[in-house]
Structure 1
């Protein structure tokens, strides 16, 4: 399976906007006397953050009277920025869109507070208001010109707009702040978004040499991908990097794999294809890797060399049926031709494999955000369905949406359904805002974390499935980015033929 280290490590960068502040535990309310006492104490000192916390905790962050109480205080003390800031911050930390009203009021009073503008920047991002988020980020940068994190956030924001501009700003940042942790992640994304493999290798090599993988997670992710690229062209170099990078876990697996590839090459050079095939079949791949296709194709090559062309064809067909790529299909067509199978027969063989691995999807019946009615899986029969479990604050989820949309746009609504199930009800209020501003076309449905675990056997987000026209899951637990967008297209187009 192709790994997307990039999607997982996105959680660590400033752009991703995770919140670490401690939240009030109680969703409230407390006993009336406790609320009254907390209110009396707070009204004696509105600048005391601890007293705001005590009152909000007593009321409960979702108490319907909480906003109106703060609006009343704001009217009574119009020059005190601490009042709207307190509630705005708590709403923000609770990932609630109500934060904006109070943060904007606080910014109106205290426009030089960079932290307020930064929270508004985050809020706008979650709503899908990217242009407005840029405005707020600029205000944060102007309010605190010394904050390196804001400068890094600005550079991250360029990543999906203009790669060349992003790259130039990121390299300038690296030269100016080489010791800052953002330099590590920025260099990682220069390589991750590179337009060619040669450029990717160049920047991942630089990352590997400047920032040891043992100390920096971004460098570790990049180095693993770098090793997997070298496995395909220069396994000796891959082994040398592995030996310097780590000894446990994935590094240990990669070391054995590199050693196996080196030995396999030697056996191939001596035309001992049988033992080369035996050696490579011993190889174990890391769970997350960038070399799956290559190993499958190498194994099939050796099978063919030993006279087992049918087995070579079958091995590639099995892999293509589960995770299709153009590279695999080229190999499949090559071996298919050798054993007399044309494109139509190949398609039938792939369909047969997919029919065997397909399992019925849970027949969901979930509420829509766009209407006061439900959508059933049964309503989608006859279409191929891309189903993703997500929630608005999920950065890896949002990172996939542009690539999903690129693929969905290649098919008609009559052929393909695109469904996004929010599994975090506390963020319901953000769903419609996000869809309106981002203009992604998925059908938004309501659910819970328990729903995806009980009925689809997964937890967390994103979790993705492709369901065929008969309501069966054929593809699951995959992630999509700029490198494998084509895989999703092949998944859908393949199921449309069945």
Structure 2
């Protein structure tokens, strides 16, 4: 199963350590191993633990074979904790097994571990991860602070502690992230700190500043986070300075690993964009459009919208303003953005269209693409008795997200959803979150109550037919459904750089201008 919808954008997901892809597969594998382990093997593994109770690898082997949820194993660890009261490794071992399963059962064992050894870095780190799943972010940040303080040489926890202030205290986040980069010049976490400063900055000038610092401080040929960051840097430069984008692409060709070879194609992209911009400056719109039309951008390229805007600009220069206008409406209907909406309005004005007419044209395309959303029924409510069906929300716009408490990208997206949703308080907007991992049910209600997030949590029904609301066993996966129960927008993501796009989509559905 794929629980994180980020396969092609690995560098764009928040909190990489939390992106524990396959943890539930591990859980299933552990259970299978436990069923297959013979009594003789279990006895041998148990003896290995007793011979070296402070050896985590011995515990791991035993727990993998016996199963952490086995009542006999739980009883055995209770006995071992009594026998070895000063060995923090004993409670931490079973806690780690539960952490790997993303199980709420980890917390009491983690607390026992740090009570025995207050400098147990990984146990504090486990409490932080577990705390995120409970939704008490202040407490979990406190655990993270203890993990970082217990081992100042640990780049991982220094990075995550700095990152935890993003959205809380921007000045502190930036200062601490720069400090991580300075303190750990030979560690991927140092590169990662600059990467996130660049990605999460809202101004293009700030993004370029941090990406340039990343490039100069952490050689892309040596550090994966720097190599990944150069793709984002390239896309920004394509819009701001295509000549410099070309220079970067040519440099990266020389350092790119043999098996990938993505940068030669990006050299061609930069050459085409640079040439097209020169042609547009010369008022040769048709030639510029022909140049840009050849470009095929990767699916998740952040330059895709900019490319469509450039093609529209070239069409407009060539005197084909109607074509520019129509093309952007087609793009907007699939992937709305504030930048596209502004450009559509500008070209509409040139064509003599007012806002009402432009909105009607946009809705003409949205209506053509709209489909009745596949209904769901019988999803259990967590906060009140009974079940929920899509029909319960008829007459409301529905923002639907698939998630689960162990999903780091889901937790990273929730604050941005909340920033937008709160702007529509009292309006006909319903915000639903379907938990796709029932094994984590114990986390759900505490998470919602502690976090303060306003979505209504529902539990997935295994095996139900999802139709056009299919999340493909991935999270997060997001959909927007209009008041008539039609699916209008899907497979979009929201972060600190594009909250206005989600706000725009919701506004459109709350206040439709039908063609």
**TM surpasses 0.5:** yes
Conservation of the 8 A alpha-carbon contact between 1:389 and 1:452: no
Which residue pairs with 1:487 in the alignment? 501
How many aligned residue pairs are there?
A: 495
Which secondary structure does the structure 2 equivalent of 1:437 belong to?
Answer: helix
Which residue pairs with 1:303 in the alignment? 315
Which residue pairs with 1:10 in the alignment? 14
1:237 aligns with one of 207, 221, 244: 244
1:329 equivalent to 2:341? Answer yes
State the Cα distance separating 1:96 from its structure 2 match. 0.8
The CA deviation string for residues 42-82 of structure 1, in whole angstroms up to 9 with x for no partner, is 89558165665566456533345654554455456645544
Conservation of the 8 A alpha-carbon contact between 1:253 and 1:285: no
Conservation of the 8 A alpha-carbon contact between 2:322 and 2:351: yes
Q: Which runs of 5+ in 1 are unaligned?
A: none
State the Cα distance separating 1:160 from its structure 2 match. 2.7
Conservation of the 8 A alpha-carbon contact between 1:424 and 1:449: no
Which residue pairs with 2:273 in the alignment? 261
State the Cα distance separating 1:161 from its structure 2 match. 1.8
Which residue pairs with 2:31 in the alignment? 26
Which residue pairs with 1:166 in the alignment? 173
Conservation of the 8 A alpha-carbon contact between 1:4 and 1:481: no
Per mean C-alpha deviation after superposition, the further-off stretch among 33-42 and 44-53 is 33-42
Q: CA RMSD in A?
A: 3.2
State the Cα distance separating 1:331 from its structure 2 match. 1.8
Conservation of the 8 A alpha-carbon contact between 1:122 and 1:133: yes
Matches within 5 A, 1:206-221: 206-221=213-228
1:109 equivalent to 2:122? Answer no
CA distance in structure 2 between the partners assigned to 1:341 and 1:376 by the alignment: 41
2:302 aligns with one of 290, 296, 311: 290
CA distance in structure 2 between the partners assigned to 1:261 and 1:147 by the alignment: 43
Matches within 5 A, 1:44-63: 47=53, 52-53=59-60, 56-57=63-64, 60-63=67-70
The CA deviation string for residues 231-263 of structure 1, in whole angstroms up to 9 with x for no partner, is 223222211111111376653443222222222
Conservation of the 8 A alpha-carbon contact between 1:7 and 1:396: no
Conservation of the 8 A alpha-carbon contact between 1:8 and 1:396: no
1:425 aligns with one of 418, 438, 446: 438
Conservation of the 8 A alpha-carbon contact between 2:477 and 2:491: yes
CA distance in structure 1 between the partners assigned to 2:218 and 2:480 by the alignment: 39
Per mean C-alpha deviation after superposition, the further-off stretch among 253-262 and 25-34 is 25-34
CA distance in structure 1 between the partners assigned to 2:180 and 2:138 by the alignment: 23
2:326 aligns with one of 314, 336, 342: 314
Matches within 5 A, 1:264-279: 264-279=276-291
CA distance in structure 1 between the partners assigned to 2:46 and 2:347 by the alignment: 80
Which secondary structure does the structure 1 equivalent of 2:30 belong to?
Answer: coil
1:135 equivalent to 2:142? Answer yes
Q: State the TM-score, normalized to the length of structure 1.
A: 0.88
Which residue pairs with 1:395 in the alignment? 408
Which residue pairs with 1:463 in the alignment? 477
1:435 equivalent to 2:448? Answer yes
Which residue pairs with 1:476 in the alignment? 490
Conservation of the 8 A alpha-carbon contact between 2:332 and 2:341: yes
CA distance in structure 2 between the partners assigned to 1:133 and 1:84 by the alignment: 19
Which residue pairs with 1:405 in the alignment? 418
Which secondary structure does the structure 1 equivalent of 2:14 belong to?
Answer: helix
State the Cα distance separating 1:418 from its structure 2 match. 0.8
Conservation of the 8 A alpha-carbon contact between 1:320 and 1:328: yes
Conservation of the 8 A alpha-carbon contact between 1:6 and 1:192: no
State the Cα distance separating 1:374 from its structure 2 match. 1.4
State the Cα distance separating 1:399 from its structure 2 match. 0.8
Conservation of the 8 A alpha-carbon contact between 1:124 and 1:133: yes
CA distance in structure 2 between the partners assigned to 1:44 and 1:188 by the alignment: 45
Provide closer, same or farther for how the CA distance between residues 216 and 461 of structure 1 changes in structure 2, counting only shifts above 3 A. farther
Which secondary structure does the structure 1 equivalent of 2:31 belong to?
Answer: coil
Conservation of the 8 A alpha-carbon contact between 2:178 and 2:194: yes
CA distance in structure 2 between the partners assigned to 1:155 and 1:17 by the alignment: 20
Matches within 5 A, 1:30-109: 37=43, 41=47, 47=53, 52-53=59-60, 56-57=63-64, 60-63=67-70, 66-67=73-74, 70-71=77-78, 74-75=81-82, 78-109=85-116
